[in-house]
Structure formats: structure tokens, C-alpha cells
């Protein structure tokens, strides 16, 4: 099973594909580049985001995923339909990205449904209300492998808590773009041909390694 890493190579470049430590800020878990807009429906479709979902994007950049999820997206496998989530929240550490995010919320008329939180995502408890929004059901992640290691325990706790609470009727899911959690078993892997076979990894409670 691939997790977005080349398991056969043991090099610095493989551990740190963007050589991030050379240029990243101390508290940054990924560079400030967003995924392509046309790619977002693939992410949302993999997680089957629907009207009973509340989505949280960890490292949200200009909020493109959050905004499209609320505005509505056409799943690539059934483009004639339109799905949207109820609420979305993006946590972003860069104030300049938050400025773009907040103006996008106003431009798209999404106040009250889509929220930007200017914070370090490591300081967030995913299980508590965020920006007064409760009940996150889908988490989207486009972070470097180092970032995934940093959030792994929190994601595990969040999935476990959902299971213990009965998930409020909606199973908690996580979708990772390009890199996944090492040693976890994705419930689905999709390679998006149109985007150079970029991989998407879907995780749920059954993905957590038994030994952890």
C-alpha cells in the first residue's frame, strides 16, 4: 500500500519531498500553495461530502476547499448532481491567507456557513466547537509528511471520540491530498489521472493501526 511516499527509497528527498526544512517557517506544516480549483471536487467526492456534513480544512490557505464545499460541487463521477456541506471551517496560520479567505466568504455570500480561524492548527481541539461550529464530520488535509505526523494523534483521538459518541449518525472521515498517514490503512485510495495521478487517501475509524 502506498501512502504517497516512495517506500523503496531511503533518502532525504523522500522523507522531506519539498525539502521543506530549508525554507519553512518554524510553525508551518506545509507551504502556502493551494490545490487547483478543479481538483477540489475529487477530494470532496472521495469523502462523499453531503448536506449533513460539517467540513474542517486543516491549513486552509485562501479557503478554497471550505468555500466550494459550502457553495456546492459536482462530483466528477456524477457531474449532473450538486452536493454541498452544511458548514465549513478553515484553520490557517498565515494572516494574509486569512484576509483572502475572509474576503472570499463575503464575495461568495457564505457568512454564517463558512468560517476562517486564524490559528495554529495544532492548538485546535477538533472535538470542541470551532468558531462556534460544532460537530465536524469531515477533515481535509493537504500538509507535508511532517505535518501529518504532527496531527496524527489528534486525528486518531477525533476518530475514536466519534465512534464512542456514535458519530451523531454521520461517520467521521479524513481525506488527505498527496500524502497519507504512514502505517494507516486507507479505506479508499483514488489516483486522479487528470491531475498527474495525484493520490487521495480516505480514512475512517477502521484505518487506525491496531497497535496504536
Ligand X SMILES: C[S@@+](CC[C@H](N)C(=O)[O-])C[C@H]1O[C@@H](n2cnc3c(N)ncnc32)[C@H](O)[C@@H]1O
For ligand X, the binding residues (CB under 6 A) are 27-35, 57, 59-61, 64-65, 91-94, 97, 120-122, 142
The answer to whether the CB of 201 falls within 8 A of the CB of 3 is: yes
Q: How far is the CB of 117 from ligand X (least distance, A)?
A: 9
The answer to whether the CB of 49 falls within 8 A of the CB of 68 is: no
Bridge partners, 55 (sequence order)? 88, 138
Q: Closest residue to ligand X, Cβ-based?
A: 59
Q: What is the rounded CA–CA span in Å between residue 182 and residue 20?
A: 18
Q: How far is the CB of 139 from ligand X (least distance, A)?
A: 11
CA atoms within a 13 Å half-sphere pointing along the CA-CB vector of 193: 1
Q: How far is the CB of 80 from ligand X (least distance, A)?
A: 25
By C-beta, is 102 or 167 nearer to ligand X? 102
By C-beta, is 63 or 186 nearer to ligand X? 63
Map residue 88 onto helix, strand or coil.
strand
Q: How far is the CB of 167 from ligand X (least distance, A)?
A: 24
Amino acid at each position: 500500500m502506498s501512502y504517497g511516499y516512495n517506500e523503496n527509497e531511503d533518502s532525504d528527498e523522500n522523507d522531506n519531498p519539498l525539502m521543506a526544512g530549508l525554507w519553512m517557517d518554524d510553525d508551518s506544516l506545509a507551504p502556502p500553495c493551494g490545490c487547483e480549483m478543479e481538483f477540489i471536487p475529487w477530494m470532496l467526492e472521495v469523502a462523499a461530502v453531503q448536506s449533513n456534513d460539517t467540513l474542517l480544512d486543516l491549513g486552509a490557505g485562501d479557503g478554497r476547499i471550505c468555500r466550494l464545499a459550502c457553495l456546492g460541487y459536482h462530483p466528477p463521477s456524477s457531474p449532473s448532481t450538486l452536493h454541498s456541506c452544511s458548514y465549513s471551517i478553515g484553520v490557517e496560520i498565515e494572516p494574509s491567507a486569512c484576509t483572502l479567505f475572509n474576503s472570499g466568504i463575503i464575495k461568495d455570500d457564505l457568512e454564517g456557513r463558512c468560517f476562517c480561524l486564524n490559528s495554529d492548527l495544532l492548538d485546535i481541539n477538533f472535538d470542541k466547537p470551532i468558531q462556534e461550529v460544532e460537530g465536524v464530520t469531515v477533515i481535509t488535509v493537504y500538509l507535508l509528511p511532517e505535518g501529518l505526523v504532527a496531527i496524527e494523534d489528534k486525528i486518531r483521538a477525533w476518530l475514536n471520540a466519534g465512534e464512542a459518541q456514535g458519530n451523531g449518525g454521520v461517520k467521521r472521515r479524513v481525506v488527505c491530498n498527496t500524502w497519507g498517514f504512514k502505517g494507516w490503512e486507507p479505506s479508499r485510495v483514488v489516483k486522479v489521472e487528470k491531475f498527474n495521478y495525484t493520490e487521495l487517501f480516505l480514512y475512517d475509524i477502521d484505518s487506525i493501526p491496531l497497535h496504536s
